[in-house]
Structure 1
Amino acid sequence: MDIQSTRAHPEAVTVILGAARRTAQLLLGLLAFALSMAMLLHAGQGGMPWDVLHQGVVRRTGLPFGAVVVVTSVLVLLAWVPLRQRPGIGTVANVLVIGATVDPFLALLARALPEPGLAAQVALALGGIVLNGAATAAYIGSRMGPGPRDGLMTGLVARTGWPVRWVKTAIEVVVVLLGWALGGTFGWATVVYALGVGPVVQVAARWLAPSLRGRAAGGPRPATVA
């Protein structure tokens, strides 16, 4: 018994430490994701595709940005049902952490940079894109469940067999057009984000999401990973 207990103890410690590391990576990744959203929004040069929609809804309803993010996330999760997607702890954390922290980050940036000049706007937008890519790799690399919007994409890929890049592009074009029609800000940063965040995720995945390394973005394999 003593020998078996001695052998089992290091394994249990390894499991606990691994779970703690993944949880910390998930939470830090989601906090960084919320901060990156706030940076792009405060820059005023165009938000991420989904944030163009969120911003349009905010301007039409007057609701807090975080509340709109949560409501949109819940509606997207309902679309998971026919797609037979299963949420994880990370899915729930994605909704709650980002929804709860994006407004405080926006308020913090508004106090720190009440009227950013053009140079500051560009720096905020580019910094937000880079931070978002690293944050995405972090929370996906935790392997605790995809975010609502990632799950929608991977579910559609699994059900239709279409390439990830087509499904992702179609979803984001639709939400950008709808958000722009509602009054959301579409700008150069939206385009740069769409073109540049993928390479940033790929680079960050070398350290934060090893399971994504070497995976091409055009085939169905990344959907399985996510």
Structure 2
Amino acid sequence: MLRAVRRPSRGAATVWANRSARLLGGLALFGIGIGLFARAAIGVPPWDVLAQGVAYAFGWTFGLSTMVVSGVVLLLWIPLRQRFGIGTVINVLVTGPFVDLTMLVVPAGLPFPVRLGLFAGGVLALGIGTGIYLSAGLAPGPRDGLMTGLHALTGWNIGLVRTGIEIGVLGVGALLGGNLGWGTLAFALTIGPVCAVTIPLFARERGTARPS
């Protein structure tokens, strides 16, 4: 006797489509932010100092190097007992291409005031993108999984945790010969407060759990 196949309701399908759109949109903004930092040329974020060093060493594009570094960061999830999700995998696969696409569209060597604007736009794009894709509830990406994992382990403010991670990675990236600048330090000091606002904001609007 054949059993009828149970199909998801329209409501469930709509929720899934909404969450998927938030995930992809947030990751797109995340990658665009990194690309803007690269074109600003006043210092890339700490994680990308490391990615640039790897790119230079192997002759890869910045986007490809970003993907490889993200994959390595996943190993740090093991002691924090973080679980992988579809958002984790998609983060690794989607962010890098948007980095390269942004660098293809935005030319290098722009006037300094324009590059300052690119840098500011990069901070906002990355911070807002983080809040949006985490609110999808489809698991954080490699770097943000490390951030939320340490937040859960220590109970510290998530902005403080993010700032600490960025400064720590900056030191490692400097030793590997990554491209440093005053913008690197500025990012390390500003991204934490931005995430402390955007993550709870989008979590509250979408009705998802959020770190306190």
TM-score w.r.t. length of structure 2: 0.83
2:66 equivalent to 1:72? no
Paired with 2:24 and 2:159, the residues of 1 have a C-alpha distance of 27
Q: How many residues align?
A: 204
Percent identity over paired residues:
41
Q: Which digits, 9 at most, give the CA deviation of each residue in 1:10-49, with x for residues without a partner?
A: x932222111111101101111110110001110111112
Paired with 1:133 and 1:83, the residues of 2 have a C-alpha distance of 23
Amino acid at match of 2:82: Q
Over aligned residues, Cα RMSD in angstroms? 2.7
What corresponds to 2:3 in structure 1? none
Q: Which digits, 9 at most, give the CA deviation of each residue in 1:39-72, with x for residues without a partner?
A: 0111011111211111122223322212211211
Q: Verify the 8 A CA contact 2:162 2:192 in the aligned structure 1.
A: no
2:118 equivalent to 1:121? no
* 126-135 vs 98-107, greater mean Cα deviation: 98-107
Unaligned runs of 5+ in 2: 1-6
Paired with 2:201 and 2:74, the residues of 1 have a C-alpha distance of 29
Residue 96 of structure 1: how far off its partner (Å): 0.4
What corresponds to 1:150 in structure 2? 144
Paired with 2:177 and 2:60, the residues of 1 have a C-alpha distance of 14
TM-score w.r.t. length of structure 1: 0.79
What corresponds to 1:132 in structure 2? 126
Amino acid at match of 1:95: V
What corresponds to 1:55 in structure 2? 52
Amino acid at match of 2:88: T
Amino acid at match of 2:172: L
- Aligned to 2:106, the other structure's residue is in SS state helix
* 11-20 vs 27-36, greater mean Cα deviation: 11-20
Paired with 1:150 and 1:77, the residues of 2 have a C-alpha distance of 10
Alignment counterpart, residue 210 of structure 1, candidates 204, 207, 212: 204
What corresponds to 2:162 in structure 1? 168
- Aligned to 1:146, the other structure's residue is in SS state coil
Which has the greater radius of gyration? 1
Q: Verify the 8 A CA contact 2:167 2:188 in the aligned structure 1.
A: no
> Which consecutive segments of 4 or more residues in structure 1 shift more than 6 A?
none
Unaligned runs of 5+ in 1: 1-8, 216-220
Alignment counterpart, residue 189 of structure 1, candidates 164, 168, 183: 183
Q: Verify the 8 A CA contact 1:141 1:209 in the aligned structure 2.
A: yes
